[in-house]
Each structure stands twice: as structure tokens, then as C-alpha cells.
Amino acid sequence: MESLRRPSLVRRLVILAAGWSLTVLLISAVMLALLFQQAALRRFDQGLSELIDNLLAGTTVAENGEVLAPALTDIRALRAYSGRYWQIVEPLPDGQWRIVVRSRSLWDAELPAPENLIARLEAQPGRPVIYETRGPLNQPLRAMASRATLPGREAPLVFMAAEDRSPIDSDVRGFVTATAVAFLLLGAGLIGAVVFQVRFGLRPLFALRREVASVRRGKAEQIAGRYPVELEPLAHELNALVAHNQEVVERQRTHVGNLAHALKTPLSVMLTEARQTRGELGEVVERQAEVMRQQVDHHLRRARAAARTPGRGERTEVADVLDELARTLTRIFQDKGVDIDWDAEDGLYFQGERQDLLELAGNAMENAGKWCAGRVRVRAVPLSDERLRLTIEDDGPGLPPERRQEVLRRGARLDESAPGSGLGLSIIDELARAYGGELRLETAALGGLAVVLDLPRAET
């Protein structure tokens, strides 16, 4: 549901195109249905008009004033309640009328008509009036009436003809149904074509997104594909941005290296001289110089971590780093007899520099080796396509939950009597966050402390 609420260029284009297409199709379908109905009614009315013309042409007046209707050959007008009817009426002064003669199909019934029919005929002489009514069997009728005066008779007569419109209504419904089905199929086809057109038209944009992702994940150094003229400037600008970022990082690294060299050399000289100078002053200088060196190392690491850009394309195999660290730390803690058990899935890569992974895992593993009773276990597993988890556990005394946040502060130490500056976990935390990762301290299954690192993963 969250993805549906987010703006989508594809969804917007599809909705706009589909909405417009469906609106045009709906209007077209309604217009076609109306045109078909009007055409059918015109043909229907033409038949009624021909029937009235035949009546008018064949009706005569006898010497005694009797109106004589012609002998029409329409068999339907001769069959009772057939659906085709006619009658001739004489208007009366009170606005009513009297039936003079009627078709056999009416039998003893008459054609109903609007109350204002006579007035409407008088208002437009020579023009017929068309209206809807009901037949003897309550069927819907479409009727036509025309006013005329016959030779030999002064009073005008009204000629009325009607026919059951059910067949034409059925034809219109059939046409509307067929049109609706056809336009629904056409609409579905148009929507499918719109989706295909949008997806095909935006394919270069999707390809550009994949290339940018490849650069960010370290699978490519720059965008190399050829794109349409609308996207080519964007690809060039992205490549320029990547190159600029790399240049900035390299300059920062150079400055950090120069600062490290400039500071560490004087501090090393001070430490050497202080160790050679016996007495209280020498001890104070040595102690403070060591603290200064540790602080310089800490801030240099922070500066280097801040300069990290996970999207530069570096990738490091986790298994190689863990194997190197395990062999090195086993030799360092050989007097303690520490057993380092590590495991990492094949093809698992850290998205970053090897030196940074060495520092992240090395500090955590060294800390575990320092405080363990004899066992250190390291596991590296993938969490998703973009994340991996590195867990370092030991069987040492562990750390109470209330102190876990405290030891992440710069200079905090688990035990003041133990050697060290208290910067290890702080450095791990800062470097992990610089890569967009996370450090957590938990209780290890071995009984000691578990350092859990969630880090960016590079694709294989």
C-alpha cells in the first residue's frame, strides 16, 4: 500500500493516457448508440409517414358525407392487435375527437393520443406530430398524426398511424450491448498498449537507474551506456559528479595522510626523548604524549571515516579479511591460547575499502580476544541484497546492558586496569555509521559480549 501512495512516473503516464483513451471511447460509444437509435427511428418514422400518405391519398368522401378509407394491402393492419394500427378521427369543438374509421387491427380499441394533440396540429399546419403511446395490449407504440382536409368535406380530419416499437428497441439494445463489448475490448487493448508504450518509452530511464545502482554498489566505475538525447546530458552530469566526488575524497585522504605524518613524527620524537629521560617529568611527558597520539589517531580515523563514500565502487571479500585477521590475532594471543572460529559465505562482499573492513572487524575481534576466556566466534551472513551482518562473539565476562551505550563513547573502557585507550568500540561505531551501517552490543550465545555489525553489501 505504501508503494501505491508514492508518486510514480509510470503510473501517472498510464493513468493519464488510459483515462483520456477511456473517456474518448466512452463518448464515442454513447454517440454511436445515439446515432444508431436516431437512424432506426428515422426509418421507423418514414414507414409511419408512408402509411399516413397512403391513407390520405386513398381516403374519399361519399355523397352522403361518409368517409371511406382505402383498401390497404398491409396484412398487419388487417390482423387484430398485430402491432400496426391506424385510425381517422374528426376533431370536435371541445378539443376531443370522434373516430371516423379505424384499422381492423385495432378491433374495438382506439389509439390513445396526448390531450394537446389537436392544438399541436393546428399550431403547425402541414407538419405531422410524432409521439409515444401505449397499444391495445399495452405494448409501446410510436405514433404519428397529420391534419388534412379532404375534397367534398369542410371539416378537417386527423390521420393517425402507430406501430409497435419493441423490435426497434430490441435492435438498439443489441447494438448497444455489442458496441459496449467491442469498446471494452478495445479499451483493454488500448490500456495494454499504453502500458507497453510507457514501459518501452521509459526503458532507457530504467537502464540509467540500473547503471547508477551498479556504480553505487561498486560493479562499475561510471555510466557507460548510450542513451537518447534527452537522457544523455543527465548521464554525463552523473559521471561528472562521480568523478568530482572521487577527486574530493582523494584530496581529503591526501590531507589526512599529510596531517598524520606531520603530527606523528613530532609525537614519536617526544615519546622517545621522554622514555630516555628518567624522573617524574619524563613519565608525565611520556604519558601525555601517548594520550596525544591516541587522540590524534582517533580524530584521524574519524576524518578518514567521514571521507568515505560507499558509492565509489570499492568492494572487499569478507572471507579473505576474516581469514587474515584470524591468523594474525591467533599469533598475537597465542600465549592465551585463544581459539578463533570464523565463517563467511562464499561470494559475500563488503561494499567499501579493505582497510576499513580490516579496522571494523579487527578492532572487534581484537577486543573479543582480549576479554575472552579462550573462544572467539565470528560469523558473516547476508541479510539482503544490500546488507550483510558481521557478528563477533566471545566467552568472556560480557557486559551488563546498562553499560553497553557507555562503552561506545570516546575514551570509555571496559576495565580501567586493562591496557588500551578505550577508542576501539567508538572507532567501530563511527566507521560503521560512516558507511550507513549500525553497531549493536548484545549478549553472546557463548556467554560473553556479542558485537553485531550491519554493513553495506556489494553485489557479486
Q: Is the dihedral of CA 310, 316, 322, 325 positive or negative?
A: negative
Provide mean pLDDT across the span 334-357: 88
Q: What are phi and psi of 117, to 5 degrees?
A: -60, -50
Collapse the DSSP code of 34 into the 3-class scheme (helix H, G, I; strand E, B; otherwise coil) and give the result.
helix
d(CA 222, CA 207): 13
Pair 44, 194: CB distance under 8 Å: no
d(CA 419, CA 131): 109
Q: Fill in the DSSP letter of residue 155.
A: S
pLDDT at 163 over 90: yes
Pair 134, 141: CB distance under 8 Å: yes
123: confidence class by pLDDT, cuts 50, 70, 90: confident
pTM recorded for the entire structure? 0.51
Short-list 149, 154, 132, 150, CA closest to 141: 132
Contacts of 357 (CB under 8 A, 6+ apart): 316, 318, 321, 350
**What percentage of the chain has pLDDT greater than the value 70?**
88
Per DSSP bridges, beta strands 316-317 and 339-344 are unpaired
Residue 181 pLDDT: 93
Alpha-helical runs (H) found in 307-438: 318-332, 354-371, 424-434
Q: What H or E segment, with its residue span, contains residue 21?
A: helix 9-58
Size of the chain in residues: 460
Q: Could you tell me which residue, 426 or 233, shows the higher pLDDT?
A: 233
Each residue of 128-149: pLDDT tens digit? 999 999 989 999 999 999 999 8
Residue 179 pLDDT: 92
d(CA 114, CA 146): 14
Listed range (37-46, 274-283, 399-408, 444-453) with the worst mean pLDDT: 274-283
Contacts of 350 (CB under 8 A, 6+ apart): 315, 316, 317, 318, 321, 357, 388, 455, 456, 457, 458
